[in-house]
């Protein structure tokens, strides 16, 4: 095993004289991923912090809409159960669980806002309008943060997989990192649909 590592290292040095072994690039890209991941987590946490006030405000006008409020509260609890540490990006299974929990909360919040459309007094409430504006702004920041993370991981994963820097990655234990999936991106980017009901037949 040690002999194989020496051979790999020799190859890295040999190719490194021509085009660089990629070690410094991977270090820099890894730090960029950590920074972008922190921003993703910050924005998701900002959204989670809005949920209790949003639910309580809706409850004041639509107390009988208990099912959707329970869904939002439970979805927020599921998000809290996933430890969003920097190491999460190195664990595809844990990352998928994180995505699923955030997607569940996104869906529940979308349904809650659709329900709110049925309550004019709620829509007119200044607190609700402020919370809705904060939520919309946060969703936009989440999208930006996610996109920056996606690009950072894409650049890093290319470095880790391409030759000859893949030899350096293999020697120092650098592996590809988990990223948001295309299907998940489409689901979160899709705007909620509003059912205005079937129009009454013309007389």
pLDDT tens for the 203 residues of the chain, in order? 555 554 555 555 554 444 457 888 988 999 999 999 999 999 999 999 999 999 999 989 988 888 999 999 999 999 999 888 878 889 999 999 999 999 999 999 999 999 998 999 998 999 999 999 999 999 999 999 999 999 999 999 999 998 888 888 888 888 999 999 765 455 444 444 444 444 545 54
At residue 3, the pLDDT reads 56
In a domain, 152, yes or no: yes
Range of the domain at 153: 2-189
Q: Is 173 left (phi over 0), alpha (psi -120 to 50) or beta?
A: left
In a domain, 103, yes or no: yes
CA dihedral 33, 38, 41, 45 (to 10 degrees): -170
At residue 51, the pLDDT reads 95
* Max Cα-Cα span within the chain: 88
Distance CA 96, CA 87 (A): 13
Closest CA to 69 of 111, 28, 100: 111
Domain count, the chain: 1
In a domain, 63, yes or no: yes
In a domain, 200, yes or no: no
Secondary structure (3-state) at 195:
coil
End-to-end CA distance of the chain: 85
Question: What Å distances lie between residue 134 and 50, 96, 182, CA to CA?
Answer: 8, 27, 26
In a domain, 196, yes or no: no
In a domain, 201, yes or no: no
The residues, any chain, with a CB within 8 Å of residue 179's CB and separated by 6 or more, are 149, 150, 153, 154, 157
Check: pTM over 0.85? Answer yes or no: no
In a domain, 49, yes or no: yes
Task: Decide if 44 contacts 104 (C-beta within 8 A).
Answer: no
In a domain, 141, yes or no: yes
Looking up residue 60, the CATH number of its domain turns out to be 1.20.1440.20
Residue 81: phi and psi, rounded to 5, are: -80, -10
At residue 17, the pLDDT reads 46
Secondary structure (3-state) at 119:
coil
């Amino acid at each position: 095993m040690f002999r194989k590592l020496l051979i790999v290292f020799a190859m890295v040095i040999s190719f490194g004289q021509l085009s660089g072994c990629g070690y410094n690039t991977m270090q820099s890209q890894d730090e960029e991923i950590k920074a972008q991941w922190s921003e993703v987590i910050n924005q998701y946490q900002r959204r989670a912090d809005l949920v209790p006030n949003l639910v309580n405000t809706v409850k004041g006008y639509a107390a009988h809409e208990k099912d959707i409020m329970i869904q939002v509260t439970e979805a927020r609890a599921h998000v809290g159960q996933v430890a969003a540490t920097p190491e999460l990006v190195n664990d595809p299974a844990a990352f998928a669980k994180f995505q699923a929990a955030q997607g569940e909360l996104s869906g529940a919040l979308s349904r809650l806002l659709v329900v709110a459309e049925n309550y004019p007094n709620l829509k007119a409430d200044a607190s609700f309008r402020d919370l809705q504006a904060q939520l919309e702004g946060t969703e936009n920041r989440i999208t930006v943060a996610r996109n920056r993370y996606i690009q950072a991981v894409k650049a890093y994963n290319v470095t880790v997989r391409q030759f000859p820097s893949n030899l350096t990655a293999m020697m120092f234990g650098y592996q590809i990192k988990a990223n948001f999936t295309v299907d998940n991106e489409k689901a979160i980017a899709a705007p909620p649909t509003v059912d205005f009901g079937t129009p009454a037949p013309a007389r």
